[in-house]
Structure 1
């Protein structure tokens, strides 16, 4: 069976990191498909290749010199080439890129060169075949992935004997033009290749050992999550707790190909396994906690609302007209609350309130700001009684007021709103209740 291994920017940041990558790949002969991000930061003073390429584009766009940024790109990559004794692997490619920058150049093509050049170095170092992502990852003109075309391209590669390196983050349109994915898209490249290769597993190598149960900036030494479902990951990712692009889930989900989140700097750590379906296992309390700050709550009060149709829909349509997304909804008999991002709401607050009050014929529209949303996720919540009660009791003891509660019927998670000033305390309190000292 084939394993797909994707290495993030920190894993290919310098020659020392590439040596670690080589050790990992050579430790398992089934790691035949290697995906790489562009070379990232090796320290706080360093720059990501992708960021430097974006700066080159902006400077060129406004008629400013690009040599300073381009020299940093060249120096970083050629240093890796020299230190690994990979003479002349990318010299011509770098010179060709510099010449291309003297004329009109497409943004997507320019930015993709970070992965392209890093991939060439890595393939040469590993002794693997280099395959340009434009020959393997295909988009339709509407932006969707063209899976039949990608499967056909992969089948032409088989059998893969010595292994291949494919740059992440980009592919090609039907006319051959380069198209970028969103930032972090190399995760998606790896996931797609795991799908088309019917891989045994997809390994995502980064600079952290798996996914943690809570933000280590808020909770001291939080425990590592051993196994998490795709659904749980989506819930935590939405609140910002993720080390993998959330869209990377979909290509492997239906085939239940496991994703392993692993640490290039600590390869012996078992990391976190992400699965669609989990076999019978020992029950745990919670999978993880995550949160975001700076939300607002619009509470619409209307007498006899339960006897009418469409009141909530009308309020949501008002918000949509201002391009404001609803994060959560909570309802009662004669009132409902809509949680929205404060940054989106505040510039148009008075217009939004006036329109909702008029269109919904509401008695009142009350607004609260400075709120945080916190999600507690567990696939065992439905089977294990009393978990929500423990959350509320623990917060009650700490005199933390809950402004809103939201939970769906499948009980995968429970979301609460608290004041921004209680954000850190809330996460620590919940973690301590279920996992011990925080």
Structure 2
């Protein structure tokens, strides 16, 4: 068996966390390939190394000395080395990086040093071979992943080094230039390596014991999701659930490699397993998988008499939206009306121009805008096989006096999305959870 194990920033934030990681890795011989993030917060008042590196770059950009910030980074790494009694000369790397702190330094290179330096220390501590991510994770110029090149590099390395530590979050372009991923990209790095080695499982170790059915800041002690499909996770991630980077799904999904979310601080917890398909034929008790949502959307509603017999009205409105580079979240339709749901922040500065052009293109003046809308998704693979779930959802919101301004559900019946006022966001999530998961 082969496991790819990825440890997030909180799992490598201090010497104490390094010790936990070592215990986890040594407990299972199949954990031969380790991906690490940059050191995160050791406590609530601490700073993530990645944030400090971004701050260094901002200081350089505005001709402010980054020295006080860099000293904080240096201190963190030296503390970990000292407490673990490591031999690697991390000071030499830090001194070299300090000399490179000039205004023209490439931001991707600078920010990637968090993972790079964390990986060097972790490799010595585990007695694994360190491989720079730029030498094993390759991107094409269009940003796509060069899997054949990665596989070749890995196969050449593993002949000599059967146990590897790889920094997450970055790789290299064909010319060798460092390229970082979006925040949380270390999850994607682990997923890429799981794909390349055809891993039996991809373990993603973080600071929570799996994925919860709802936001614990809203719902008191929500239940943990034991098993979830990639499709369900994609829906929840898109709507704001953020335990795993949503792009981490794709490299492993088509190979049917399960992802196991686990807690570095509670390694005995079962965690959450993410798979392609689940056999729920004998499950008669489960209802919803999870609830997630986001605030601050706007709904533009366009009305026009006899629109149902007119060709191209919706397309013309969407052409305007596309012209301004706006992303459509949902598109509910009626007989003589349709609505376009958009994020409010990018729409607000150009709202007047957008409305004027929609009126002109669609030849109607009957347009209304609703702001302060929250979208809440109730996700469940059980909806298709269990009748009455949508009825229960709408009934419970009605009893709570929560007005629904939009409803959206696709034909696969994976989720139901409702739009409510921002002020009802927490009440809505709490009411849905209580209806389906309350004791």
Shorter chain as denominator, the TM-score bin is: over 0.9
Distance 2:421 2:25 in 1: 47
Q: How does 1:168-187 map to 2 (within 5 A)?
A: 168-187=168-187
Aligned to 2:4: 4
Distance 1:149 1:421 in 2: 51
Aligned to 1:149: 149
What residue ranges of structure 1 are gaps of 5+ in the alignment?
none
Distance 1:153 1:303 in 2: 62
Question: Does 2:429 align with 1:427?
Answer: yes
Aligned to 2:251: 251
Question: Does 2:315 align with 1:313?
Answer: yes
Q: How does 1:35-434 map to 2 (within 5 A)?
A: 35-102=35-102, 104-159=104-159, 162-280=162-280, 282-283=283-284, 284-434=286-436
Say which is worse superposed, 240-249 or 336-345, in terms of deviation.
Answer: 336-345
Distance 1:160 1:258 in 2: 28
SS of the residue 2:203 aligns to: strand
Q: How far does residue 363 in structure 1 lie from its aligned partner after superposition?
A: 4.4
Say which is worse superposed, 147-156 or 198-207, in terms of deviation.
Answer: 147-156
Distance 1:212 1:333 in 2: 39
Distance 1:46 1:213 in 2: 28
Instruction: Quickly say closer, same or farther: Cα 1:402–1:47, change in 2 above 3 A.
Output: same
**Preserved CA contact (<8 Å) 1:89 1:121:** no
Distance 2:242 2:350 in 1: 31
Any idea what the Cα deviations from partners look like across 1:312-365, whole Å, max 9, x if unmatched?
A: 111111122222211111011100011111122222222222211111012400
TM-score normalised over the length of structure 2: 0.97
Say which is worse superposed, 61-70 or 125-134, in terms of deviation.
Answer: 61-70
Distance 2:412 2:271 in 1: 27
Distance 1:370 1:55 in 2: 32
Distance 2:339 2:160 in 1: 55
**Preserved CA contact (<8 Å) 2:61 2:103:** no
**Preserved CA contact (<8 Å) 1:53 1:111:** yes
CA RMSD of aligned residues (A): 1.3
Q: How far does residue 161 in structure 1 lie from its aligned partner after superposition?
A: 6.4
Any idea what the Cα deviations from partners look like across 1:251-306, whole Å, max 9, x if unmatched?
A: 00001100011100010001000111223452410000011111111110011111
Any idea what the Cα deviations from partners look like across 1:120-139, whole Å, max 9, x if unmatched?
A: 00010001010110111001
TM-score normalised over the length of structure 1: 0.97
Instruction: Quickly say closer, same or farther: Cα 1:24–1:310, change in 2 above 3 A.
Output: same
**Preserved CA contact (<8 Å) 1:303 1:363:** no
What residue ranges of structure 2 are gaps of 5+ in the alignment?
none
